[in-house]
Amino acid sequence: MNIVCVSHLRWDFVFQRPQHLLSRAARQGRVLYVEEPVIVHGPPRMEVTPHSSGVFVAVPHLTADAPPIEHAAAQRRLIEEAIRTYIGGEFTLWYYTPMALSFTHGLDAAAVVYDCMDELSAFAGAPTALRELENELFRRADVVFTGGQSLYEAKRTRHENVQAFPSSVDVAHFARARALTDDPSDQARIAAPRIGFFGVIDERMDYQLLREVAQARSDWQLVLIGPTAKVDPATLPKAANIHYLGPKSYAELPAYIAGWDVAILPFARNESTRFISPTKTPEYLAAGKPVVSTSIRDVVRPYGQQGLARIADDAPAFVAAIEEAMQEDATERLRAADAFLTHMSWDGTWLRMQQAIEQVVAARQPRGGATALNAS
């Protein structure tokens, strides 16, 4: 199966759902991953880079000062040329952002997939046209995947074929943290106990909670790993026991988690977090760490309900939950976590997604196979 994916996320920003899925797809077929454009002085062009995963990462370069209609036309021409060069045959058109509809109409696709991993319209700076375009994408898509159960419940009535594929995990990768003892140099200088988080540091974080936890327990060290996005770094909580170590590669994460006492999910409870399904929850568990989270719905269900994560929303309760986590029986926690994770894997998730796509392709064959996505 060949895939042309259009996404709002940079391939090398954070290794998350798209990278897990599409790197597996690239083992079996050709994958072209089209990022959002960059604006340059010069003629439009497509920069395509082969990634070590096997994915071809394509970045449209669009001319500065050109009107939006010219940008859309240029993107469409560039993606058509890239498809001819790097795909060369039948493909599935895979969307992460409805905003890409403006330059992908008219492409001949064997199937159209919308992998709805977030409620993008609730994020800071979301384009005003996003909701309307998502409605259009629901009309065009053959199958819709959602990145979590709560998102599935919000979307399931909008399309006849919506399927939930919550965040999965590469257990073997993160389980390495259980045996690693060498601390990365920038973390080695930080005292214990360490309370850690990795992920994008953006508007979804509860910064007041972090500030109050750090103040309540000055003997704890809060270690935050990841890039910042859509927030001014100068406004982040500052304290002697809060440490921002910046972005780390996916390969480096187990070594950092190995040195933590507790892993946390300090998300705010707002519109941008209402439907999130944090991939890091099972990753923390696979790494062998106790988990404390705010009451994010897809963490409460199933992790909180099954005793795999402690749930707390204000600073006193969050501090108490961390204290309990540090005193619990690790043997029983690891046994329960491992039992839960037995049936979770990105390999399995991709296999089930592939089967769902193959079913819609087969269903379309009597109508003539690949169908043009003409603008309505």
Q: Which pLDDT belongs to residue 373?
A: 41
For residue 205, how far is the Cα from the chain centroid? 15
- pLDDT for position 122: 72
Q: Give the model's pLDDT for residue 366.
A: 55
- Indicate the domain borders of the chain: 3-168+346-372, 171-341
- Topology (CATH level 3) of domain 3-168+346-372: Rossmann fold (3.40.50)
Superfamily (CATH) of domain 171-341: Glycogen Phosphorylase B; (3.40.50.2000)
pLDDT at residue 131, as a whole number: 87
358: left (phi over 0), alpha (psi -120 to 50) or beta: alpha
List, run by run, the mean pLDDT of 10-residue segments along the chain (376 residues). Answer: 96 95 97 96 95 97 88 94 96 96 91 92 76 93 95 94 94 97 97 97 95 98 95 94 97 98 96 89 98 96 96 98 95 96 96 96 65 38
What is the pLDDT of the chain when averaged over all its residues? Answer: 93
